[in-house]
Amino acid sequence: MIISDEKGIAIVEGLLTKIKNEYFPEDVHPFPEFPLKDGMCALIWHENEEYEFGRNSWIDKNTFLALKEVIENWSNTSDIYIAWAFRELNELGQPLPRVVVKLPLNWSELSNYESKIDCSISQFYVFDEFLDWFIYVDDSVMLAGWNKLILELETRLDGSNTAIQMFDEYLNGVNSEDTKTWVARIKNRYEKAKLNP
């Protein structure tokens, strides 16, 4: 459901502010920097705009179900938020309330949430109220979280070989040195987390 009440929007804005200012201050340290908070690491993959069975455009069913199991081990959350990265402006140039969708932590709801909204988005965040993890979808999909949470997820995704393969696959056909630097920084953070979780 789209959140429209002021209290709900204020809660989400507070969570999103914490992500943007404390956990991943990308505006202060833009690409190809990787300004993720100490104690957190990330996995990345490409957004796939073509719909396939068992996936939506930014996460496949197996990854979501593994993440769901990990989240449920860490907290008793039952809902997630999908929040647009930017706010639209009204005719006077003033920002409108951010579009936020609240969904149960459930694949069937997540996999077809776009059919329930009137617009398509390309940049957004996915998170819950505890902020032990978040997903940022832009040109790529980045799943970040506390080291132990990401490492627990990794085991549910068949271990570190799968994670390393995700980094390598991301760079297939990439010529940009900035992108290679960015991915190397994410991978290095992940490998350090493996050594010292």
CA distance 18 to 140: 21
Listed in sequence order, the residues at least 6 apart from 4 whose beta carbon sits closer than 8 Å to its beta carbon are 97
For the stretch 29-38, pLDDT in tens is 999 999 999 9
Looking at residue 118, what is its pLDDT? 62
For the stretch 39-93, pLDDT in tens is 999 999 988 755 555 557 788 888 999 999 999 999 988 899 999 998 888 888 8
CA distance 184 to 122: 24
Looking at residue 46, what is its pLDDT? 87
Mean pLDDT of the residues in the chain? 88
Looking at residue 119, what is its pLDDT? 61
CA distance 174 to 160: 22
Which residue has better confidence, 49 or 105?
105
Q: Residues 134, 145: contact at Cβ < 8 Å?
A: yes
List strand residue ranges (DSSP E) for the chain, in order.
40-46, 79-84, 100-104, 124-127, 133-137, 140-146
For the stretch 19-28, pLDDT in tens is 999 999 999 9
Q: Enter the pTM of the model.
A: 0.92
Please state the rounded mean pLDDT for residues 97-112: 88
